[in-house]
Chain A
Amino acid sequence: MASLDRVKVLVLGDSGVGKSSLVHLLCQNQVLGNPSWTVGCSVDVRVHDYKEGTPEEKTYYTELWDVGGSVGSASSVKSTRAVFYNSVNGIILVHDLTNKKSSQNLYRWSLEALSKDSSPTGIIVSNGDYDREQFAENSVPLLLIGTKFDQIPENKRNDVLTRTAFLSEDFNAEEINLDCTNPRYLAAGSSNAVKLSRFFDKVIEKRYFTRDSSQMQSFTDRRRFNFKSLHSD
Chain B
Amino acid sequence: MSFFVDSVIMFTSQVLFFGFGWLFFMRQLFKDYEVRQYVVQVVFSITFAFSCTMFELIIFEILGVLSSTSRYFHWKLNLYVILLVLIFVVPFYIGYFVVSNIRLLHRQRLLFSCVVWFTFMYFFWKLGDPFPILSPKHGILSIEQLISRVGVIGVTLMALLSGFGAVNCPYTYMSYFLRNVTDSDILALERRLLQTMDMIVSKKKRIAMVRRQMYQRGEEQNKQTGFWGMIKSVTSSTSGSENLSLIQQEVDALEELSRQLFLETVDLQATKERIEYSKTFQGKYFNFLGYFFSIYCVWKIFMATINIVFDRVGKTDPVTRGIEITVNYLGIQFDVKFWSQHISFILVGIIIVTSIRGLLITLTKFFYAISSSKSSNVIVLVLAQIMVRHNIKSRQKTTALF
Q: In the bound complex, how far is the Cα of B34 from the Cα of A83, in angstroms? A: 30
Q: Which of A1, A43, A74, A77 contacts B200 (CB 8 A)?
A: A43
Are B204 and A45 touching (Cβ within 8 A)?
A: yes
Are B34 and A100 touching (Cβ within 8 A)?
A: yes
Contact residues in B for A42 (Cβ distance below 8 Å): 255
Contact residues in B for A79 (Cβ distance below 8 Å): 269
CB distance from A52 to the nearest CB of B (A): 14
Are B205 and A41 touching (Cβ within 8 A)?
A: no
Nearest chain B residue, comparing its CB with the CB of A27: B208
Are B208 and A46 touching (Cβ within 8 A)?
A: yes
Q: Which of A2, A44, A80, A105 contacts B262 (CB 8 A)?
A: A80
Nearest chain A residue, comparing its CB with the CB of B194: A83
Nearest chain A residue, comparing its CB with the CB of B371: A15
Q: In the bound complex, how far is the Cα of B34 from the Cα of A178, in angstroms? A: 20
Are B208 and A15 touching (Cβ within 8 A)?
A: no
Asked whether A119 is an interface residue with its Cβ less than 8 Å from the other chain, the reply is no
Asked whether A53 is an interface residue with its Cβ less than 8 Å from the other chain, the reply is no
Q: In the bound complex, how far is the Cα of B31 from the Cα of A105, in angstroms? A: 11
Are B262 and A14 touching (Cβ within 8 A)?
A: no
Q: In the bound complex, how far is the Cα of B266 from the Cα of A70, in angstroms? A: 14
Are A76 and B269 touching (Cβ within 8 A)?
A: yes
Nearest chain A residue, comparing its CB with the CB of B372: A16
Asked whether A40 is an interface residue with its Cβ less than 8 Å from the other chain, the reply is yes
Do A72 and B32 form a contact, CB below 8 Å, given A16-B372, A61-B205, A80-B262? yes
Asked whether A54 is an interface residue with its Cβ less than 8 Å from the other chain, the reply is no
Q: Total contacts A to B, CB within 8 angstroms?
A: 84
Nearest chain B residue, comparing its CB with the CB of A74: B270
Q: Which of B190, B204, B212, B372 contacts A83 (CB 8 A)?
A: B190
Q: In the bound complex, how far is the Cα of B255 from the Cα of A44, in angstroms? A: 11
Contact residues in B for A6 (Cβ distance below 8 Å): 205
Interface size, B (range):
35 or more
Asked whether A63 is an interface residue with its Cβ less than 8 Å from the other chain, the reply is yes
Q: In the bound complex, how far is the Cα of B212 from the Cα of A74, in angstroms? A: 40
CB distance from B106 to the nearest CB of A (A): 13
Nearest chain B residue, comparing its CB with the CB of A75: B273
- Bitwise, A109-139 to B at CB < 8 A (1) or not (0) is 0000000000000000000000000000000
Q: In the bound complex, how far is the Cα of B265 from the Cα of A2, in angstroms? A: 30
Are A40 and B202 touching (Cβ within 8 A)?
A: no
Are B372 and A77 touching (Cβ within 8 A)?
A: no
Asked whether B201 is an interface residue with its Cβ less than 8 Å from the other chain, the reply is yes
For window 1-34 of chain A, which residues contact chain B by CB distance below 8 Å? 1-2, 4, 6, 14-16, 27
Best-buried of A6, A27, A80, A99 by chain B (most CB within 10 Å): A80
CB distance from A91 to the nearest CB of B (A): 17
Asked whether B206 is an interface residue with its Cβ less than 8 Å from the other chain, the reply is yes
For window 346-386 of chain B, which residues contact chain A by CB distance below 8 Å? 368, 372-374
Asked whether B90 is an interface residue with its Cβ less than 8 Å from the other chain, the reply is no
Are A43 and B269 touching (Cβ within 8 A)?
A: no
* A-side interface mostly: mixed
Contact residues in B for A43 (Cβ distance below 8 Å): 197, 200-201, 204
Do A40 and B262 form a contact, CB below 8 Å, given A27-B208, A47-B208? yes
For window 10-39 of chain B, which residues contact chain A by CB distance below 8 Å? 31-34
Asked whether A39 is an interface residue with its Cβ less than 8 Å from the other chain, the reply is yes
Are A40 and B263 touching (Cβ within 8 A)?
A: yes
Contact residues in B for A76 (Cβ distance below 8 Å): 266-267, 269-270, 272-273
Contact residues in A for B207 (Cβ distance below 8 Å): 45
Are A41 and B258 touching (Cβ within 8 A)?
A: yes
Q: In the bound complex, how far is the Cα of B208 from the Cα of A46, in angstroms? A: 7
Are A44 and B204 touching (Cβ within 8 A)?
A: yes
- Bitwise, A74-110 to B at CB < 8 A (1) or not (0) is 1111011001100000000000101111000100000
Asked whether B40 is an interface residue with its Cβ less than 8 Å from the other chain, the reply is no
Q: In the bound complex, how far is the Cα of B368 from the Cα of A63, in angstroms? A: 31
Asked whether B138 is an interface residue with its Cβ less than 8 Å from the other chain, the reply is no
Asked whether A167 is an interface residue with its Cβ less than 8 Å from the other chain, the reply is no
Q: In the bound complex, how far is the Cα of B345 from the Cα of A99, in angstroms? A: 47
CB distance from B179 to the nearest CB of A (A): 14
Q: Which of B32, B208, B212, B265 contacts A70 (CB 8 A)?
A: B32
Asked whether A71 is an interface residue with its Cβ less than 8 Å from the other chain, the reply is yes
Contact residues in B for A45 (Cβ distance below 8 Å): 201, 204-205, 207-208
CB distance from A3 to the nearest CB of B (A): 10
Are A14 and B259 touching (Cβ within 8 A)?
A: no
For window 48-81 of chain A, which residues contact chain B by CB distance below 8 Å? 61, 63, 70-72, 74-77, 79-80
Are B205 and A1 touching (Cβ within 8 A)?
A: yes
CB distance from B98 to the nearest CB of A (A): 17
Do A15 and B372 form a contact, CB below 8 Å, given A43-B197, A72-B31? yes
Asked whether B193 is an interface residue with its Cβ less than 8 Å from the other chain, the reply is yes
- Bitwise, B208-232 to A at CB < 8 A (1) or not (0) is 1100100000000000000000000
Contact residues in A for B33 (Cβ distance below 8 Å): 99, 101
Contact residues in A for B265 (Cβ distance below 8 Å): 80, 83
Q: In the bound complex, how far is the Cα of B90 from the Cα of A111, in angstroms? A: 40
Q: Which of B208, B255, B273 contacts A61 (CB 8 A)?
A: B208
Contact residues in A for B32 (Cβ distance below 8 Å): 14-15, 70-72, 101, 105
Nearest chain B residue, comparing its CB with the CB of A38: B259
21 pairs, A vs B, C-beta closer than 8 Å: A1-B205, A2-B206, A15-B372, A16-B373, A16-B374, A40-B262, A41-B258, A41-B262, A43-B197, A44-B204, A45-B208, A61-B205, A72-B32, A76-B269, A76-B272, A83-B190, A83-B193, A83-B194, A100-B34, A101-B32, A101-B33
Q: What would 7 more interface pairs be, CB under 8 Å, given A2-B202, A72-B32, A96-B373?
A: A16-B372, A40-B259, A40-B263, A43-B197, A76-B267, A77-B269, A83-B193
Query: Could you tell me which A residues sit within 8 Å of B by CB distance?
Result: 1-2, 4, 6, 14-16, 27, 37, 39-47, 61, 63, 70-72, 74-77, 79-80, 83-84, 96, 98-101, 105
